C-alpha cells in the first residue's frame, strides 16, 4: 500500500464515522417518534415552554411599563376582597337593596295624623298647628302623632330594620323606643304601651315593637303613637312624611 492510499483512508475515516453517527442518531429519532406517546409529549413540552415565555414577558411588561402603580392597585383590590370575605365569614357580601321607610302601622289608611311635624319654613298657620301646649308652654312638635278614629289601640311597627338602641319610660312622653338604622337615621316611637322589644335587639322592618298608648305631654291625642325621624343618635328631628309614601 503506497503512501497516497494510506493518506486517503485517513481522510475518509472521520467522514465514515460521522455518517455512522448520523445514521445512528436518525434511527434513534425514528424509533422515538414511532412511539404512540411521542407526539403528545412533545406537544405538552412545547406548550409549557410557550406559556412560560408569555408569563415572563407579561411580568417584565408589567414592571417595565406600569411600574408600582399596577402592583399597588392589585394589592388594594386584593385587600378589599380579603377584608370583605373575612368580615362575612369567608363569603363575599351579597348585593343588598336599601329599604324604603314604611308607616309605623299595619295600615296607614286606618290612622289619621293628629299632630304634624313643626316646620320652621311653613306658614304661620301651619306652624301654630304643629305646636304642643303643655301648661303655659308651647313646644314645637318634633314628629307626627297617629291615632285611630275610634281611639282604640293598634300595633306599632318598625318603620325600618335596625337595632333597638334605647328604651325608656319618660314621665311626659310615656314609653319610648329608639331604633338605629344602617343608613344613619334613628326612628323614635313614643306614647307606647306593651313594649315587645328589648334594648340591643335587632328588629326587621314591619316587626311589632309595641302597642299604641297614651302619654302626659300629648294627652289630648288620646291613644296614639308619636313617631319621629332623627339624623343620627343626637341629631335634629326631620319631617317623617318626607320618607313615607302618601296614604
- Between 32 and 108, the higher pLDDT residue: 108
Q: Where are the domains of the chain?
A: 3-87, 108-242
Beta strands in 68-136 (DSSP E): 111-115, 131-134
Report the C-alpha gap between 178 and 162 in whole angstroms. Answer: 10
In terms of Cβ atoms closer than 10 Å to its own Cβ (0-12, 13-18, 19+), residue 108 is: middle
- CA nearest to 224, candidates 210, 234, 235, 237: 210
Query: Does 233 score more than 60 pLDDT?
Result: yes
The whole-number pLDDT of residue 224 equals 98
Average pLDDT of span 233-243: 93
Comparison of pLDDT for 9 and 165, the residue scoring more: 165
Q: Is the pLDDT of residue 35 over 90?
A: no
Provide the CATH topology of domain 108-242: Glucose Permease (Domain IIA) (2.70.70)
What is the DSSP code (8-state) at residue 194?
Answer: S
Note the pLDDT tens digit of each residue in 36-63: 555 555 656 565 555 555 554 444 443 4
Contact predicate 157/208, CB 8 Å:
yes
Provide mean pLDDT across the span 22-27.
Answer: 51
Instruction: Output the pTM of the full model.
Output: 0.62
Return the pLDDT at 33: 54
Statement: residue 97 has pLDDT above 70: no
CA distances from 174 to 110, 125, 189, 190 (A): 23, 28, 10, 6
SS3 category, 131: strand
- Higher model confidence: residue 179 or residue 97? 179
For residues 82-101, give the mean pLDDT. 52
Write out pLDDT tens, residues 173-232: 999 999 999 999 999 999 999 999 999 999 999 999 999 999 999 999 999 999 999 999
Cell of 190: 313614643
Rounded to the nearest angstrom, the gap between the alpha carbon of residue 51 and the centroid of all alpha carbons in its chain is 38
What is the rounded average pLDDT for all residues in the chain? Answer: 77
Query: Cα–Cα distance between 118 and 140 in angstroms, integer?
Result: 6
pLDDT digits (tens, 9 = 90+) for 109-141: 999 999 999 999 999 999 999 999 998 899 999
| Total residues belonging to the chain | 247
Amino acid at each position: 500500500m503506497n503512501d497516497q492510499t494510506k493518506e486517503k483512508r485517513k481522510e475518509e475515516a472521520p467522514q465514515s464515522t460521522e455518517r455512522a453517527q448520523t445514521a445512528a442518531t436518525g434511527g434513534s429519532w425514528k424509533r422515538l417518534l414511532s412511539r404512540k406517546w411521542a407526539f403528545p409529549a412533545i406537544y405538552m413540552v412545547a406548550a409549557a415552554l410557550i406559556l412560560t415565555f408569555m408569563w415572563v414577558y407579561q411580568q417584565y411588561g408589567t414592571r417595565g411599563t406600569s411600574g408600582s402603580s399596577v402592583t399597588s392597585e392589585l394589592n388594594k383590590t386584593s385587600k378589599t376582597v380579603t377584608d370583605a370575605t373575612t368580615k362575612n365569614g369567608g363569603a363575599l357580601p351579597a348585593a343588598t337593596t336599601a329599604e324604603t321607610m314604611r308607616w309605623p302601622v299595619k295600615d296607614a289608611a286606618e290612622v289619621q295624623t293628629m299632630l304634624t311635624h313643626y316646620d320652621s319654613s311653613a306658614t304661620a298657620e301651619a306652624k301654630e298647628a304643629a305646636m304642643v301646649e303643655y301648661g303655659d308652654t308651647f313646644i314645637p312638635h318634633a314628629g307626627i302623632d297617629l291615632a285611630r278614629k275610634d281611639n282604640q289601640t293598634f300595633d306599632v311597627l318598625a318603620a325600618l330594620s335596625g337595632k333597638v338602641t334605647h328604651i325608656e319610660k319618660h314621665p311626659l312622653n310615656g314609653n319610648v323606643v329608639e331604633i338605629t338604622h344602617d343608613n344613619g337615621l334613628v326612628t323614635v316611637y313614643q306614647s307606647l304601651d306593651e313594649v315587645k322589644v328589648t334594648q340591643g335587639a335587632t328588629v326587621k322592618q314591619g316587626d311589632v315593637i309595641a302597642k299604641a298608648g297614651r302619654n302626659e305631654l300629648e294627652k289630648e291625642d288620646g291613644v296614639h303613637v308619636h313617631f319621629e325621624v332623627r339624623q343620627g343618635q343626637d341629631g335634629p328631628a326631620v319631617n317623617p312624611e318626607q320618607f313615607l309614601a302618601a296614604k
